[in-house]
Amino acid sequence: MRTPSLLIATLLISVSACSSPPPASAPAAGGGKKVDAATAGTISGKVTFAGTPPKPDMLRMTTDQACVQASGAMAPSDAALVAADGAVQNTFVYIKDGVDAAYSFEVPAEAVVLDQKGCRYAPRVIGVRAGQRLEIANSDATLHNVHALPMTNQEFNHGQKEKDPNIVHTFTVPEVMVRFKCDVHGWMNAHVGVMGTPFFAVTAADGSYEIKGVPPGTYTVAVWHEKFGESTQSVTVGDRETKTAAFTFKQ
């Protein structure tokens, strides 16, 4: 039988191995072709919901007084934010297919920040490039546990106390979508779209989105929502053209 000290040592080794992020590596370089800004176009539009939107679940935060002080004992879920006119916020819109593999895209040097504020992830839906730094902050006066659950990239799991430094992680492979959760506060969820190209956006409160710098061509554009699923349509962009593509989720 193992001694308690040996069990503790084994557990610490296991947690350390689980929570170590994979080493950063650059995504595939592509063929080196660059998008010609003089001919690039834009895809924009709005995502809406047809019918009566589902009522939000009520989140019981009474297990943590810091959460109660920040957001109240009961708070509506932000999993499905639908405005009175049907506009859907936090939909991930991206070019799913059709981008010429000969193109190469520079990975932004600046990090994307995912915060924990009011015992929620903020923003709830974000996009990041493969090879780009993702920084997870904790603005709450309580302990969180950041647990990413990718299917293609490497899983990681980090505890993060109040005022701890930001957790820095780099996903190396495109993947839509990666779910984040908090193992301390079960209602906390976020979703991160890891992309190989810059052609993605997240809808604003009015349901709008805009994807700029798209080279002329025909593409499959997808919209993803954690409650309403995924929908696609074909969009053809001409030279310097702004193409409107609207999407509607139905009950």
pLDDT digits (tens, 9 = 90+) for 26-78: 444 567 899 999 999 999 999 999 999 889 999 999 999 999 999 999 999 99
Q: 251 or 40: which carries more pLDDT confidence?
A: 40
What's the rounded Cα separation, in Å, for the pair 61 and 66? 9
pLDDT tens digits along 100-139: 999 999 999 999 999 999 999 999 999 999 999 999 999 9
Q: Is the pTM of this model over 0.85?
A: yes
What's the rounded Cα separation, in Å, for the pair 66 and 63? 9
Give me the pLDDT at residue 29, please.
Answer: 54
* Section 9-24 average pLDDT: 37
Report yes or no: 61 and 140 within 8 Å, Cβ to Cβ: no
Q: Within 13 Å of residue 209, how many CA atoms lie on the same side as its CB?
A: 30
Decide if pLDDT at 87 tops 90.
yes
Domain 24-250 architecture: Sandwich (2.60)
The C-alpha torsion from 78 through 152 and 250 to 201, rounded to 10°, is 70
